[in-house]
Amino acid sequence: MKISVIKDLLDAEVVCGEEFLDHEVHSACGSDMMSDVLAYVKDQAVLLTGLVNPQVIRTAEMMDMVCIVFVRSKTPSEEMIRLAKESDMVILCTKKRMYEACGKLYLGGLGVSAVK
Amino acid sequence: MNEAVRFHFVVDGEDFTSAGQASVQVKKNLRRLGIPPEIIRKISIAMYEGEINMVIHANGGEAEVLVYEDRVEMILTDRGPGIANIEDAMKEGYSTAPDNVRSLGFGAGMGLPNMKRYTDGMKIESVVGEGTTITMTVNLT
Ligand SMILES: Nc1ncnc2c1ncn2[C@@H]1O[C@H](COP(=O)(O)OP(=O)(O)OP(=O)(O)O)[C@@H](O)[C@H]1O
Ligand SMILES: [Mg+2]
């Protein structure tokens, strides 16, 4: 699935990384606990989260993730946007809540990666 | 390359916002050394979990990363409260993190198990009241 499709499915706003919207992604995970995200190392490409602090960007960076979706209208700080740009990441913001956002992407065909 | 390439970091315990910076730097350095991305990912995640632990549980510490021809070694040392029961601490879901740490996205009790999962060797030495040293090794071959 292209990141641009994620944007459309979630009615999301692009905060940064407009130039990477054509990038293909194949898996996603949703969590507010960063160590839960870090527990599944296999090619997670998209992180959906309601947590907003710089550790979200660093966690995604450690995992080589390419796109972060902030749910429930959370907006990242300037510092977070700067970190994301440095790592060529796309940041999207959606009004949808976690459950609905994950559901939309799943129904849209974005799978989960096989556990470990 | 017979001698190890060595990186050393001081991890600030006062500043949660900058926590993880050492791991980000290690990741960059390992890329420059041409280590395969899947191995870099494992090393960075293990190091990041250890670094965050030093910040949230031990008021900071030091990290030393040694890159040998056949392996990478990470040594994380702090003078925090120590870990009373290492066996318990290693269990998935075990955490003593207070609510304010949880609201920052940590405290799932997954950090130490993740560190073990992503490394080929891990040793925890800890003395209550004195501090903790965690040594992790990831094989490159
Ligand atoms: N460097 C340390 N100094 C003192 N105690 C530690 C240290 N590292 C871990 N611990 C103890 O071990 C417990 C388990 O650590 P672990 O990293 O697995 O989970 P956590 O840090 O609580 O949560 P998570 O890593 O999922 O965000 C911690 O809650 C803490 O009590
Ligand atoms: Mg931890």
User: Which residues are paired to B121 by β-bridges?
Assistant: B137
For chain B, which residues make up each domain, given as ranges? Answer: 5-139
CA torsion A73→A79→A83→A89, rounded to 10°? Answer: 20
For A37, the closest chain B residue by CA position comes to B110
pLDDT, residue B93, reads 96
The pLDDT tens digits along chain B (141 residues) read 568 999 999 999 999 999 999 999 999 999 999 999 999 999 999 999 999 999 999 999 999 999 999 999 999 999 999 999 999 999 999 999 999 999 999 999 999 999 999 999 999 999 999 999 999 999 998
Indicate the SS3 state at residue A91: strand
User: pLDDT tens digit string along A2-46?
Assistant: 999 999 999 999 999 999 999 999 999 999 999 999 998 677 799
CB-defined site of ligand 1, < 6 Å: A 35; B 49, 53-54, 57-58, 78, 80-83, 89, 94-97, 106-113, 132
- In chain A, what are the domain boundaries? 3-114
Q: What is the mean pLDDT of chain B?
A: 96
Residues from chain A that touch B18, judged by Cβ atoms under 8 A, are 54
Within 10 angstroms of residue B8's Cβ, the number of other Cβ atoms is: 11
Report the CATH fold assignment for B5-139.
Heat Shock Protein 90 (3.30.565)
pLDDT at A115 over 60: no
Give the right CATH number for A3-114 from 3.40.1160.10, 3.30.420.10, 3.90.640.10, 3.40.1390.20. 3.40.1390.20
Distance from the alpha carbon of residue B95 to the mean position of ligand 1, in angstroms: 6
Q: How far is CA A101 from CA A22, A25, A27, A79, B97, in A?
A: 20, 16, 14, 25, 29
* Ligand 1 closest atom vs CA B94: 14
Q: Please give the pLDDT value at position A69.
A: 98
Average pLDDT over residues A94-106: 97
List, in sequence order, every residue forming a beta bridge with B40; answer none if it has no partner: none
**What pLDDT is stored for residue A44 in this prediction?**
77
- According to DSSP, residue A24 is labeled B
* pLDDT bucket at A110, cuts 50 / 70 / 90: very high
Tokens at A108, concatenated: 């849209």
Predicted confidence (pLDDT) at residue A55 exceeds the cutoff of 90:
yes
Write out chain A residues lying below 8 Å of B105, CB-based.
32-34, 49, 51, 53, 55-56, 59
